[in-house]
Amino acid sequence: GQNIDQPTEMTATEGAIVQINCTYQTSGFNGLFWYQQHAGEAPTFLSYNVLDGLEEKGRFSSFLSRSKGYSYLLLKELQMKDSASYLCAGNAGNMLTFGGGTRLMVKP
Amino acid sequence: KAGVTQTPRYLIKTRGQQVTLSCSPISGHRSVSWYQQTPGQGLQFLFEYFSETQRNKGNFPGRFSGRQFSNSRSEMNVSTLELGDSALYLCASSARTALSGTDTQYFGPGTRLTVL
């Protein structure tokens, strides 16, 4: 199948670092997206990994290991506004398969 | 550049009716994808249109259909509405330029459909 698994909820403290993991069980994906979605809003693009390794964009970094079917999103220097759902999505020919999303709560 | 726009933003229908949702992609984008988001199932792919042709289709019944116009605007239609069709319908556009290509998908604000 094309399962994409990520934790349902995570809690972290303002200023800390949090890592959100995503695992997938198919070889059909040619890349992995991460999106952020605030309640009641549309998902917004964070990162897209095609090659193995770490890609850094400011406070956000994303890692991919295709051989292990594993990705993570790393958020540094957490801010209250980072409280949102984080969605990983496998890409197969421009068709995205989404995980259930991880709801991150940032506490003061 | 203006982002992806969707109309209407909110819609209330009753069982058995049909509904048409509209999506205008980012200027220059030729690919439009539609997704259904529900609390239970999350975000699920419906279909993708590229240059007026359906290129990919998700696992939804035939009551869900769509089309794309020459200006890349897309519409999605759901016939014989069921209670379970209540959801947020999101469209996303991307700048991919070839059938085999891929590019980041940018989402619109969505249409929240409630079926009573």
A38-80 pLDDT, tens digit per residue, is 998 999 999 999 899 999 989 999 999 988 999 999 999 999 9
What percent of chain A has a predicted confidence (pLDDT) above 90? 77
Contact residues, chain B to chain A, C-beta under 8 Å:
4, 31, 33, 35, 42-45, 48, 50, 55-56, 58, 90, 94, 96, 100-110
Query: Which residues make beta-bridge pairs with B64?
Result: B78
Which of B10, B34, B49, B102 would you mutate first to test chain A, the one with the most A CBs within 10 A? B102
Whether residue B100 has pLDDT greater than 60 = no
Whether residue B99 has pLDDT greater than 60 = no
Query: Which residues make beta-bridge pairs with B5?
Result: B24
Distance from CA of B102 to the nearest CA of A (A): 5
DSSP state of B84: G
Q: How far is the C-alpha of A54 from the C-alpha of B91, rounded, in Å?
A: 29
Tell me which chain A residues have a C-beta less than 8 angstroms from the C-beta of B109.
41-42
Distance from CA of B1 to the nearest CA of A (A): 16
Whether residue A1 has pLDDT greater than 60 = no
Higher pLDDT, B43 or A2: B43
Candidate from A59-68, A70-79, B68-77, B92-101 with smallest mean pLDDT = B92-101
Which of A94, A97, A102 would you mutate first to test chain B, the one with the most B CBs within 10 A? A94
Taken as a whole, chain A contains a residue count of 108
Q: Between the CA atoms of A62, A85, B24 and B72, what dihedral angle is there, to the nearest 10 degrees? A: 40
pLDDT score at B22: 98
